[in-house]
Amino acid sequence: MSKMFSVWKKKFKNEKGETIEKYFACPKTLRTVNTEELSERISGSCSLTQADVLGCLKALSIEIKLSLLEGSNVKLDGIGTFGIGVTSEGVDDPKKINPKKVKATKITYRADRKLTRDVKDMKFTAEPKAPKGLVVKSSKKVISVLVLIFLLSFSQSGFSQSESSSSCKFKKEDLSHTIQTQVGYRWIDGFLGFYNFKTNLIPSYEIGYKNKYFAKLRYITFSEKYTGNIYLADYDYMLPISDQRFNLFSFVLGYNFLNAQSNHLLKLGLELGYGFDRLKYEDKHIDYYNYFGIGGELSYKYFITDNIGIGGEINYGRVYGNDTYLTNYGINLTLSFKF
């Protein structure tokens, strides 16, 4: 048995302020074994049926959760010990620390000694490289097809059968301009784990044609500092990250499925984006990572007046870069001003 790994290129500054590029190994997970598959494997090596094993595993997960919520640690022989990590604000007087100021930070895990030894002895294999240009060409084909469909639909709507293509012009009253802001949450699942963050006042500018076809420019950013006992660990660099800032610029092509004369808009959109992640480590050096993303969004908007609209949006996408990818989900509330 072996663990697959891929290679990441990182840029950081040394003590002299010089930018240095280094290559590091990072883990590559091809799949996740779920509870049902575990029960099937276990039933094949004992006299219990798969249903019996599945029931036991589900009961085990419930008991582990209840024990942790009771304040106990849970030790599973051969696996390790689970517990709850806590923290609080720093104060000068210990008497000022009361239960209201204490909060749980994370679920801790201390591996079993034998498991730790076995992991240290495990072997690794390099991830096979895809043929040059394979991913790029595939993504270009998908994007090209979607853009072509959008343009064909746009041209059929924009040109009347009684008009020749040479005499067709965009009318000013057919175009709409909208500035909007959003608040909500984003969830990211990547090599640093699964985490969520709140997004405040996401600005965007959208232009529409005949209230059916839309193009939008959007900017998303979030930042977070990790202090005290709370930090984000980059397992490639093996140092805690003290500060993180992510910036994403995206372009969205959308189509409204409802009546163009209605105050209600129900849009499905294709989102293309570019982003970069700034990570500052405890040893003060800074890394930058570039990402390219593709995804989709479904949004609803209702204009309560001719100019002011409210609504909501959900989105899903993949962000690729540095030989890895992040899966992100989002949900937002929207306030729009049309002019």
Q: How many domains does the chain have?
A: 1
For residue 108, is it within any domain? no
For residue 311, is it within any domain? yes
For residue 80, is it within any domain? no
Burial class (CB in 10 A: 0-12, 13-18, 19+), 253: buried
For residue 277, is it within any domain? yes
pLDDT digits (tens, 9 = 90+) for 220-278: 777 767 654 444 444 444 455 667 777 788 899 999 998 888 889 999 999 888 877 77
pLDDT digits (tens, 9 = 90+) for 43-90: 988 888 999 999 999 899 899 989 998 989 999 999 999 998 888 888
Asked whether residue 302 carries a pLDDT value surpassing 90, the answer given is: yes
For residue 12, is it within any domain? no
Eight-state DSSP code of residue 53: H
CATH code, domain carrying 294: 2.40.160.20
pLDDT of residue 239: 53
Mean pLDDT score, 172-192: 76
Mean pLDDT over each residue of the chain, to the nearest integer = 77
Domain housing 226: 170-338
pLDDT digits (tens, 9 = 90+) for 12-24: 677 777 878 788 8
For residue 118, is it within any domain? no
Asked whether residue 297 carries a pLDDT value surpassing 80, the answer given is: yes
Secondary structure, 3-state, 258-277: CCCCCCEEEEEEEEEEEEEE
pLDDT digits (tens, 9 = 90+) for 119-148: 888 888 887 664 444 444 444 444 555 555
Give the end-to-end CA distance of the chain in Å, rounded to a whole number: 62
For residue 27, is it within any domain? no
pTM, whole model, 2 decimals?
0.47
